[in-house]
Amino acid sequence: MTKDRAASLLFLCAGIYGFYFSVQLPMGRWNEPGPGVFPFALSLLLLVSGAAWFIRGKRRVKEEGEGENADRYAFIKNLATPLKIVGLTALLILAFNSVGYLAAASLYIFVLLFWVSRYRVVVSILLALSIGIGSWYFFEKVLAVQLPRGVLFL
């Protein structure tokens, strides 16, 4: 699949979603347009754009042939680090309120440094504690941001 085609799928999905839900909203009349008119028009525009890029993307597959395959492998290969970061960030968000900022953030930084950045355990622990405590102090004490304390009251 070309990049244009992947993008076209995103636009088509957004267009279909917008279309499906906007037709359920009141459309009103021209002298009193309802809340559905604007999203409906945008959904149609997204569907048209998506369809246009889908067709253009198909043409590109034929033109580019193997080059596109190489691109695809590089894309998948490069995905590992971003996936690790996204996964860890999702876990942090889930644990944010229950575990508390200090513990969750320190653990998050430790895993990032150890697993993603490949630092040694001791270095990762020291850096994670410094960043965790430093950021907690900066946000909670200096900027007076109310951060979650969680079950550990940290």
Partner 1 sequence: MDVFGSLANGFQTALSLQNIYLCFIGCLWGTMVGVLPGIGPLAGITLLIPATFGLDATGAIIMLAGIYYGAMYGGSTTSILMNVPGESASVVTCIDGYQMTLKGRGGAALFISAWGSFVGGTLSIVGLMLLAPTLADFAMKFGPPEMFSVLLVAFVLLGSLGSGSFFRTMPMVFLGLLIGTIGMDPLTGSMRFTHNVTDLYDGIGLLPVAMGAMGVGEILIATEESLLRVIHKIKLRELLPTRDELRASWGPIFRGSGIGFMIGLMPGSAHVLSSFVSYMAEKRLARRPEEFGHGRIEGVAGPETANNAASGSAMIPFLSLGIPTGPAPAVMMIALLIHGITPGPLFISKHPDVFWGLIASMYLGNVMLIVLNLPFVGIFISLLRIPFRVLFSVILLICLVGTYSVNSSTFELAVLLFFGILGYFIRKMKYDMAPLILAMIIGPTMELSLRQALMRSDGSFSIFWESSITMTLIAASFLLLVWNIYRGIRPTKASWEKALEESK
Interface positions with partner 1 (CB under 8 A): 3-4, 6-7, 10-11, 14, 18, 21-22, 25-26, 29-39, 42-43, 45-46, 49-50, 52-53, 75, 78-79, 81-82, 85-86, 89-90, 92-93, 96-97, 101, 105, 108-109, 112-113, 116-119, 127, 131, 135, 139, 143-148
Which SS3 state, helix, strand or coil, does residue 115 take? helix
Nearest-approach distance from CB 65 to partner 1, in angstroms: 19
Orientation of helix 66-78 relative to helix 37-64, angle to 10°: 120
Write down how long the chain is: 154
Q: Is the Cβ–Cβ distance between 29 and 37 less than 8 Å?
A: no
Q: Is the Cβ–Cβ distance between 84 and 115 less than 8 Å?
A: yes
Nearer to partner 1, 94 or 152 (CB): 94
Nearer to partner 1, 125 or 147 (CB): 147
Please give the backbone phi and psi of residue 38, each rounded to the nearest 5 degrees, phi first. -65, -50
Nearer to partner 1, 52 or 70 (CB): 52
